[in-house]
Chains A and B, each alone.
Chain A
Amino acid sequence: MEAKHQWKGWIFLAPALILMAVFTFYPFFKTIGITFLNGYNPLKATNQTFEFGIQNFIDAFNYPKFTSCLYNTIIVTIVTVPISTMLALLISVALNSIRPLQKILQTIFFLPYVTNTIAIGMVFAVMFSVIGTPSRFTTVGVINTIFGTKINWINISMIGGSNASHFTRMFVLCVYIIWNALPFKIMILLGALQSVNKQYYDAAKIDCATKAKTFWRITVPMLSPMIAYVLITGFIGSFKEYTASVAVFGNDLNSIDMNTMVGFIYNQIALAEFGRAAAGALILFAIILVFTMFSRWVGSKKVHY
């Protein structure tokens, strides 16, 4: 009976499948095709053919800003994903353990998720901005004021002063990305926490476990499937990070070496270098694939489903 009605299932799937075929599967395979056509350009002359080869990859690697983009992307991923997951775990456990104001605090922690990324980025830029000259500051920004420092975090140049260093810019970017990534992770982990049977905590109390021990030996393993989910989606998301950088530093990212891989791809498209853009996309895809496979391999040993 099930086999008889299979065509019905396909009909129900058809709208999604057609859209995905047009906007996901075709572009995906087309991109792979383009990557291996040297100097590909869609505005080709009649009868013009492109040679099959790996020139696009060579061009991409040799492009002056490529290494900086790749470096930034990897740093952002390695720094922000573990930190934001840890913070999200701590915050969700804290949120779960308080009774009064829980709903209000949940809403507050969720607000960044529904706020515009660019708007938040601009606020961060303002908070870290320094205006004036080193001898006479008009303002050193909110952050410098709070911590009593006079660091030039992100500005390109101050009159008579030096540019902000790559390190401080990276620091601001990471803080911003971590803060921006928290709400979603908190929501997922809090939901998972609230579905853990309270009896296990009672059992842990009877078994003389301390609070810390209960957290590491009971809570974390119980949450491990959700932690794995948050980590893997986090890795994928941060490899694709671009808007954060634009939001804090504006459009001209290459000049201050704050561009990312996705930024690199966009730049190449703007330059009509489709072959190079496709090569960049495929490199990014390969990195994400390897990372995800690795995470799943680790997960298969540590995650208790």
Chain B
Amino acid sequence: MKIVLDGLTKEFENKKKNSKVIAVNNVSIDIPSGTLVGLLGPSGCGKSTTLFMLSGLLAPTRGSIVFGDKDVTHLEPQKRGIGLVFQNYALYPHMTVLQNILFPLENIGMPKDERIERAHEVAKVVQIENLLDRKPSELSGGQQQRVAIARALAKAPDVLLLDEPLSNLDARLRLQTREEIKRIQRETQVTTVFVTHDQEEAMSICDVIVVMKLGVVQQVGVPQEIYDDPHNLFVAQFLGTPPINTFAGVIKKGGVYIGKEKIMDTKLPDQEIYVAIRPEGFIPAKDGVLTLNFDHLEVMGRERSILSTHESSLKPLIRSIVEEFEETGAKSYKFNLKPHKVFLFNKETEIRISDDKVYDAPVVMKGLEQVQLEEKKENAFQKAWNKCKGVFKKKEKAEEVKENSEESKEK
């Protein structure tokens, strides 16, 4: 089923602090039917909040959610036809695996024979047929996760929601289960929204990735497209392992400079910029355009990485993955750069700039900052109290100033 989010916003009010936090800010996404969409972002970016609004467990402050042709913004979770896999699975501990899977079927009033047949069918899809009589506490993390997916899939939901389902698994199991999620999604063709903070996970299984930061959608696209064409510095830095190398640079008279070296030509006007270069964008060459100070060489199986330093780099070490490299004992090496692996960003806005395309800033609701602490109107009592505090502060400051001036005089 197709999902359309339009201007979805969620504000959390903190009554004690008299402030408001905007967890999700004006999120508008179209999710085509049958796709696996990944909501990707660092913790606190509002991806789980968005998912819970999709599920109906949280009510949005503004905006609308449409499943297919039906507006479900104010519909209860029971009536939305969704399956949700919780981060820690939330399997009912007092029921066996089979009872857990049967519970939603029982609630939608499926006849007994049919629901047992359906439960076995779903169990087969997620390969837990031999575990049906066990209690959740007798299962491993990966098995619990599959039971949770089975429970969510059992009632044939129109939309499947997964809240960081792999975060509790060890690295190996994670690889295996994410393939499994992809397989199950392909087999069932259910529209799936998948929340994760792991960009590799998102890149490997999602059809479409939505990158979020502080409640705002930064970029939506096919994984490879987002990797090859990031719209802003955050997206460029968040995606890719090893991470992208960022330098402070300038554009002067049609040339892009890092330090004193001109690395490429451009038609862009003069300005201060960030230059981000993917690790695989470096080619060692004697007549190279960029000189890096050699630190050490790292060989890891099929990969050879040169770790080097540069005064303009934002991070202490620059990593470049190269195919051929001969260590000559020199202190610095020159590199040529692959142009499609080099991205330029405006220093202030951190938005991508390029010769042949204009990039837009992320869409934020008018009058709302990305995360905004909004003071409510003070009541009379608070006003008086704040005045009192103000007076004290002024006094303290005055005294401090006095002391300071006296000290300086003594000196």
Residues on A facing B (Cβ under 8 Å):
197, 199-200, 202-203, 205-210, 213, 217-218, 221-222, 224, 304
Contacts and interface: CB of A to CB of B under 8 A. Distances in A.
B104 A200 contact: no
**Nearest 6 pairs of A and B residues by beta carbon:** A304-B94, A207-B104, A208-B107, A221-B94, A203-B90, A199-B90
A211 to B, nearest CB: 10
Nearest to A197: B90
Contacts of A200: 90, 92
A203 B107 contact: no
Given A203-B90, A206-B55, A304-B93, A217 B103 contact: yes
Given A205-B57, A207-B151, 12 more contacts: A199-B88, A199-B90, A200-B90, A203-B86, A203-B90, A205-B76, A208-B104, A208-B107, A217-B92, A221-B92, A221-B95, A224-B94
A224 B93 CA distance: 12
B122 to A, nearest CB: 14
Contacts of A202: 57, 77, 84, 86, 90
Interface of B: 55-57, 76-78, 82-84, 86, 88, 90, 92-95, 103-104, 107-108, 151-152, 155
Nearest to B155: A208
A202 B93 CA distance: 14
A218 B92 contact: yes
B107 A213 contact: yes
Contacts of A224: 94
24 contacts: A197-B90, A199-B90, A200-B90, A200-B92, A202-B57, A202-B86, A203-B84, A203-B86, A203-B90, A206-B77, A206-B82, A206-B83, A206-B104, A207-B155, A208-B104, A208-B107, A208-B108, A208-B155, A209-B103, A209-B107, A210-B107, A213-B107, A217-B103, A222-B93
A200 B103 CA distance: 12
Contacts of A213: 107
A187 B56 CA distance: 32
Nearest to A303: B94
Contact of B92 (A203, A206, A208, A210): A203
Nearest to B151: A207
Contacts of A221: 92, 94-95
Contacts of A197: 90
B128 to A, nearest CB: 18
Contacts of B57: 202, 205-206
A277 B159 CA distance: 71
A81 B149 CA distance: 42
A207 B107 contact: yes
Nearest to B83: A206
A116 to B, nearest CB: 40
A199 B86 CA distance: 8
A238 B78 CA distance: 43
B55 A207 contact: no
A208 B103 CA distance: 9
Nearest to A218: B92
Nearest to B56: A205
Given A199-B86, A206-B82, A222 B94 contact: yes
Contacts of B83: 206
Contacts of A207: 103-104, 107, 151, 155
Nearest to A217: B103
Contacts of A208: 78, 104, 107-108, 155
B246 to A, nearest CB: 39
Contacts of A205: 56-57, 76-78
Contacts of B103: 207, 209, 217
Nearest to B76: A205
A20 B225 CA distance: 77
Contacts of B151: 207
A203 B152 CA distance: 10
A224 B84 CA distance: 27
A210 B77 CA distance: 11
Contacts of A203: 84, 86, 90, 92
Contacts of B95: 221
B43 to A, nearest CB: 18
B300 to A, nearest CB: 40
Residue of A200, A206, A222 with highest tally of chain B CB at under 10 A:
A206
A55 B107 CA distance: 62
Residue of A207, A221, A222, A304 with highest tally of chain B CB at under 10 A:
A207
B331 to A, nearest CB: 57
A217 B94 CA distance: 9
Contacts of B55: 206
B190 to A, nearest CB: 15
A208 B57 CA distance: 12
A304 B96 CA distance: 11
Contacts of B88: 199
A302 to B, nearest CB: 10
Contacts of A199: 86, 88, 90
